[in-house]
Amino acid sequence: MSIVRIENVTKKYGNIVAVNDLSLSIEEGEIFGLLGPNGAGKSTLINMITSLITIDEGNIYIKDANTKSNANLTKSFTGIVPQDIAIYEDLTCLENVKFFAGLYGLRGKELKSKAMEALEFTGLADKAKDFPKGFSGGMKRRLNIACAIAHNPEIIIMDEPTVGIDPQSRNHILQSVKELNRRGCTVIYTSHYMEEVEELCSRIAIIDYGKVIALGTKQELKSIVKHKNEVWVTVKNNIDKIVQEELKEIPGVTDVEIYENTVMVYSMHESENLESIIAYFTSKGLGILQIESKVPDLETVFLTLTGRKLRD
């Protein structure tokens, strides 16, 4: 059953179409990924799901309730981890979590125990009485999550929850997303880090300029680029000596792209032409800094579909 239905939703800011006639269905119990570069419209879409901004055209339904006419109900189904850390530095961790969970109707003993649970879940139980003022970015991000989950929402929406933190905290967060999902939560996870989305999500929508440009499981998405082998050669200098046409004459090569001082050479699957490619670079007398043979990933998918990288 679809727990969230987005039907032909459009949102404009002046001339910018932030979300463009977008439709999606999110199934109960899945971790759904919204992958797209900065400015793709991910946050705008999420703000419409949570009724924080109005929808210009189209409708969004959560558990069959319209977010326009039933906002207080649909809001109560969700918990949101905002893109920007949203916590009070002059309230302790426990007070923070209790306050936000209290807004969803929890009271008294239940409120306190649920809040403690959320802190334990995010690894902050021993910091319950501390003020988050001196916390590291990772700890603040974890508290940011605790504040969104204490009221046990059926749907948790996370907007880039791992921006700007250390790998250890990131790992902790990814593990807790999986655990929340195991406990029955539907998760909507946005990111511009394709590794995270690839690791976590059962289904992924790739978004660009407010539109879904690809949708499916990660296997389905990668099959878009299955026929491709990819070699990235980074050279020291003289990149202008490279003639794309000459490279394309090498057997198996289908396409060549140059990005700064990296040359991306695409070939048919199982072309076994790596030696010829390297030979080309040495014959030109270009100092090779690095050679990478790329397994197709979501980055490749995005690049193939849009001609741009996810992160610039």
Partner 1 sequence: MNTLNIIIKELKQLVRDKKSNAIMILLPIVLIFILSKAFSGNFGQTLKLGDVSVLYTMNAEESLEQSFEMFMETINKELGIQFVEASKKKEGLKAVKDVKYACYIMIEENEIEIYKNERYNFSANLVESMVRSFAKRYDALNEIAKSNPQAIEAILSDETMNFTEIKSLDGKRSPSSLDYYAVTMLTLFLLYSSLTGYSSIKSEQYLRTQYRIFASPVKKHEYLTGKIIGDLSISLLQAMCVFIFGKYLLNANWGSDIPTVLLVVLAECIMTVSLGACTAVLFQKGETGIAVINIAIPVMAFLGGGYVPLSQTGDAINKLSVISPLKWTNEAIFKVIYNNDYSSVPIAIGISIGIAAIAIMLTAIKTGKEKSI
Binding region for Mg ion (CB under 5 A) = 42-43, 83
| 6 contacts 49 by C-beta, under 8 angstroms | yes
User: Applying CB under 6 A, which of residues 16, 73, 243, 289 lies at the interface with ligand ADP?
Assistant: 16
Q: Is 300 in the site for partner 1 (CB under 8 A)?
A: no
In angstroms, the CA 190 to CA 26 distance is: 13
Asked if 39 is part of the footprint of ligand ADP (rule: CB under 6 A), the reply reads yes
Sole residue written with tokens 């907007």: 159
User: Do 218 and 297 form a contact (C-beta atoms < 8 A)?
Assistant: no
Q: Does the protein bind partner 1 through residue 73 (CB under 8 A)?
A: yes
Residue 264 found at the interface with partner 1 (CB under 8 A): no
According to DSSP, the residues that pair with 255 across neighbouring strands are: 266
Pairing of strands 211-216, 262-268: unpaired
The secondary structure of residue 88, as a DSSP letter, is: -
107 touches partner 1 (CB under 8 A): yes
Does 232 participate in binding partner 1 (rule CB under 8 A)? no
- List 16, 27, 57, 103, residue binding partner 1 (CB under 8 A): 103
Report the relative pairing of strands 228-235 and 78-81 from DSSP bridges.
unpaired
Quick check: 122 binds partner 1 (CB under 8 A)? no
Cβ of residue 221: shortest distance to Mg ion, in angstroms?
21
Q: Which two tokens stand for residue 196?
A: 């995270």
CB closer to partner 1 out of 138 and 296: 138
Q: How far is CA 134 from the centre of its chain?
A: 28
* # residues contacting ligand ADP (CB under 6 A): 11
Q: Identify which range of 84-92, 132-140, 248-256, 271-279 contacts partner 1 by CB under 8 A.
A: 84-92
Q: Which helix (DSSP H) or strand (DSSP E) does residue 108 occupy?
A: helix 108-121
Q: Which residue ranges make up the site for ligand ADP (CB under 6 A)?
A: 13, 16, 18, 36, 38-44
